[in-house]
Structure 1
Amino acid sequence: MKKSLIALAVLAASGAAMAQSSVTLFGIVDTGVSYVDNADGKDAKYGVGTSGNATSRLGLRGTEDLGGGLKAGFWLEGEIFGDVGNSAGFDFKRESTVRLSGNFGEVRLGRETTPTFRAGLKYDLFGATGIGQNMGYADWAGSGIADGNTIRKNNMVSYSSPNFGGVTANISYAFDEKAIAGTKAGRYAGGNVGYDNGPLSVTAAYGTLSYGPAGDRDEMSIGASYNFGVAKIAGNAQQIKYKPNGAPNEKFNNYLLGVSAPVGGVGEVKLQYAMYDQKAADTKAHQLSLGYVHNLSKRTAVYGTVAYLKNKEGSAMALNAKGVSTSVGMKADGVTGLNQAGVQVGIRHAF
């Protein structure tokens, strides 16, 4: 009888522990067909690609309730390339963090997106993917260091505050860990402050990255959106400034303005304009993107995007059609200032 009672007690304790913990497998598979003209000199590129509407991904996340409002958790997430089946292998470079949260906010350790990138992502109607995405977050000066675009950083410690009536803040610091001996190359520090309450959202951010003995990259942005119900308007202004040691500063100013509207309760149409004022090179580029997403269910959607990129005064930017045309410049055959048009159609499935 005693053994039975002990077994029941152990079983009950195990059930209670399991009830307080959870692990979730999740992901997105987004694959489509893309066409981009003037992608290689004056030649077009077309074929099956990935992540036209949302970045394909596979991940694991979990939480454990420690009691007293304290929770522990983890997040592991890697990118999926549906067009080639991850022929180069799978990793967790999208995010690999462990976290602790409570009434004080949340602390994360590991690799994840930076607060400066997250601030701008909130106002990009194309979610930083596909040919319609905002391309302001680039390593404009070609620093050559890993994650020079500051979208993500390794070895980062982050703190996110609780929500105070719609106001939140985040601050992050990434250690360089002597990636390049004798320098601080890769060291990042940044933060953002945002207000999200009802239809209004406003976020400001600032960050700085050391790219070694050459100097630093500073970036700042402010973005806002307002949802009127029948339509949502979003905008963002960003400046990236490279401060080379012993040389003049190099500025790159980027501006974004977009509007989206629901269609029939199952779809969304979005129109976005971006201007890239590359002051350091005395060039400009204009990008106009139009997209439509039609939800077949809560998990599955079909989409289509068309985009036009006008390069002026020698600008050499390119539309990003992942898996088909991902060049960052169009200087093949000695030609600069080529314009581009692109089309993407695809299927997105979430699980």
Structure 2
Amino acid sequence: MKKLILFFGLSPFLTAAVHAQSSVTLYGIVTANVTYSNNAQTAATANGGRPAGGAQVAQFDSGTSGLASSRWGLKGTEDLGGGLKAIFQLESGFSVNNGALGQGGTAFGRQAWVGINADRYGTLTLGRQGDTSVEFVSALSYGWYWGNLAIHPADYDNLNFTHRINNSIKYLSDSFRGFRFGGLYSVGGVAGNVTQNQVWSTGISYTGGAFAIAASIINARNPNTSLYGTNANASATGNNLGSAGSATAPESNPVIAGFASARTQQTVSVATTYTTGGAIFGVAYSNTQFRGLGSNPSLNTFNYSGSTTLSTVGASLRYQATPFLRFGTSFDYTEGGSVGNKGGAKYEQLNLGTAYSLSKSTEVYVTGAYQHASGTDSLGRPAVAAIGYLTPSTTNKQVAVSAGVKHLF
């Protein structure tokens, strides 16, 4: 009886001790901004085949044109002993405009994974997550200085984490003398052809003092499905890379929309930064090949064959002027997309941004971008400017400015 009394008397403390080994954290970003664009299409095939529209547009969005998109999530960890921890993360994007889910209505569209962390040996996770370019290269090539207006055209290299990898297994090492490495593999899930929709990627980074460098490669089979078709609203048979538009709808992602029939997409990216005082200087390069065009005949609207390449080289400067005020600027040059006797396109873009912290959790910001396009895009048409996730311009030039507020919790 004394033992029973002792057990029940101590049980609340024993329970507290067990729970002390586990934790769940609620976190998120709530952001809203007003974005101005000097030119936007309203249709794609009016006026003798040239896009119609061209009016100025001001719109309210939930960070998709600002510093960061709105999201909330849960992170959890449980100490298993012996240096092992069980971990998980669930993250959902949403719009403050109307409360709608992001990522095409996917409940935990940004991230959803579970795994094991082992001291000194790294982390193994399974689920919906980012590839190694997101883990290693993105932090050096993008940042909170100029935001989503500054993505490479159509985010074709996924350095802005537009596309998540479903059904994936990922390993990330711990840091060893400044080095980290990792790899990801996503099973295709197609009966009789396990490699049809597979995705694999690998990456490495090094940080030593003021210098940092990272590189990654990602290879996606049938990218229209395995890479671009992973959201809840993705088409099972249609083009998920973009659209040629219509007499009543504008183009979407004209930089890459014509390459949906590719058998394979492979992207190599590398970025480096050097920090001195409050300034960070950066250089980045990415190269994407769409191989085996025409492999999916139903998506080969333009009867392409062979392969095509897009590449971007960029330079950036980020400066922390005071503990509260920061500035950033970058310039990117993108070219490629030629197929057969169809010449490719060129895109030049200048980005600017500034943010002021009102507290540790809240800041106001202004970002801006100017893009100039030339040549022939993936739709076989004169290339039009297309900044960030905005509606493309009717001409080869586009200017966009975004101002908003971001709150972390």
Scaled to the shorter chain, the TM-score interval is: 0.7 to 0.9
The correspondence for 1:68, drawn from 57, 73, 82, is 82
In structure 1, the residue matched to 2:39 is 38
For residues 81 and 30 of structure 1, what CA distance do their matches in structure 2 show? 9
| Between 166-175 and 36-45, the greater mean CA deviation after superposition | 36-45
Structure 1: give runs of 5+ residues left out of the alignment.
141-148
For residues 185 and 276 of structure 1, what CA distance do their matches in structure 2 show? 29
CA separation of 1:89/1:207 partners in 2, compared to 1, >3 Å: closer, same or farther?
Answer: closer
The correspondence for 2:265, drawn from 208, 213, 217, is 217
In structure 1, the residue matched to 2:278 is 230
SS at structure 2 position matched to 1:249: strand
For residues 207 and 190 of structure 2, what CA distance do their matches in structure 1 show? 38
Q: Does 1:4 align with 2:52?
A: no
RMSD between aligned alpha carbons? Answer: 2.4
| Between 264-273 and 119-128, the greater mean CA deviation after superposition | 119-128
In structure 1, the residue matched to 2:320 is 262
Structure 2: give runs of 5+ residues left out of the alignment.
42-52, 224-260, 295-304, 376-381
Q: Does 1:111 align with 2:128?
A: yes
SS at structure 1 position matched to 2:141: coil
For residues 111 and 317 of structure 1, what CA distance do their matches in structure 2 show? 32
In structure 1, the residue matched to 2:113 is 97
Q: CA deviation at 1:118?
A: 3.2
One-letter code of the match for 1:61? K
In structure 1, the residue matched to 2:151 is 133
The correspondence for 2:137, drawn from 105, 120, 139, is 120
Q: How many residues align?
A: 332
Q: Does 1:277 align with 2:291?
A: no
For residues 270 and 241 of structure 1, what CA distance do their matches in structure 2 show? 30
Contact 2:36 2:56 in 1 (8 A): yes
SS at structure 1 position matched to 2:152: coil
Q: CA deviation at 1:176?
A: 1.4
TM-score by length of 2: 0.76
One-letter code of the match for 1:78? S
For residues 53 and 139 of structure 1, what CA distance do their matches in structure 2 show? 19
Contact 1:137 1:151 in 2 (8 A): no
CA separation of 1:92/1:129 partners in 2, compared to 1, >3 Å: closer, same or farther?
Answer: farther
Q: CA deviation at 1:129?
A: 4.3
Identity in percent: 26
Q: Does 1:346 align with 2:404?
A: yes
| Between 120-129 and 275-284, the greater mean CA deviation after superposition | 120-129
For residues 201 and 373 of structure 2, what CA distance do their matches in structure 1 show? 31
SS at structure 2 position matched to 1:131: helix
One-letter code of the match for 1:249? S
TM-score by length of 1: 0.88
Contact 1:166 1:197 in 2 (8 A): yes
Contact 1:36 1:342 in 2 (8 A): yes
Q: CA deviation at 1:90?
A: 6.2
CA separation of 1:150/1:293 partners in 2, compared to 1, >3 Å: closer, same or farther?
Answer: closer
CA separation of 1:151/1:123 partners in 2, compared to 1, >3 Å: closer, same or farther?
Answer: farther
